[in-house]
Amino acid sequence: MSNLVNVPKNGGLANTNSNRNFPTWSNWLDDIFNRDLPSVLTSNFNTGITLPKVNIKETADAFVVEMAVPGLKKSDFHIDLDNQVLSISAEIKDENEQKEENYIRREFGYSSFKRIFTLPESVNNDKIDASYKEGILSILLPKKEEAKQKPARTIKIS
C-alpha cells in the first residue's frame, strides 16, 4: 500500500491513498470500541450472568444507585469508597458433587463482576448507606447540606 503526497499550488498537503477500500486505523478502532461487545465476552460461561444493569436517579436530597443482582446474599457484595470512587463487586463460587452408583459428577462455577462510579463532590461520604432486598442492591448517596436543592420561594420587593 503506497501513500502519495500531492503538493497543490496553494501550498497545502493532500494525502492520496491508492487503496481507498481499506479502512484507516482510526476508523477500524472506532468500529471496535463503538459496537457492543458480544454477550459471550460479557457473560459468565458457567451461569450466563452478565454485568448487572444499574439505574441511577437524583432527588433533591440524594443520589440513589439501584443494581439488579438477584440470587445473591448480602455477604457476596463488596462496596468500597476511595477518593470519591465507589466500587461495587461480587464474587460467587459454586461447587457441586454428586456420587451415584458407578460415577462421580463434579461441577463448579465461578462468577464475578465489578462496577465503578466516580461520585460528585456534592455527596456526603460519611452517610452513604446500602441495602439489599428482593434482588435489588440499593445504595443511597446523600448530598451535603449545601448541595441540596432548596424549595422555590417568592422574594418580596422592599
Give residue-wise pLDDT tens across range 65-121.
Answer: 999 999 888 999 999 999 999 999 998 877 777 777 777 777 777 788 899 999 999
- If one compares 10 and 125, the residue with the highest pLDDT of the two is 125
Radius of gyration of the chain (CA): 27
pLDDT one-digit tens code per residue, 10-35: 554 444 444 555 556 656 555 655 55
Residue 11 cell numbers, joined: 501550498
| Number of neighbours of residue 93 by Cβ within 10 angstroms | 10
Domain assignments of the chain as residue spans, ordered by start: 3-34, 44-147
Statement: 44-147 belongs to CATH 2.60.40.790 = yes
* Percent helix / strand / coil, the chain, rounded to 5: 15, 45, 40
Helix (H, G, I), strand (E, B) or coil at 141: strand
pTM of the model: 0.58
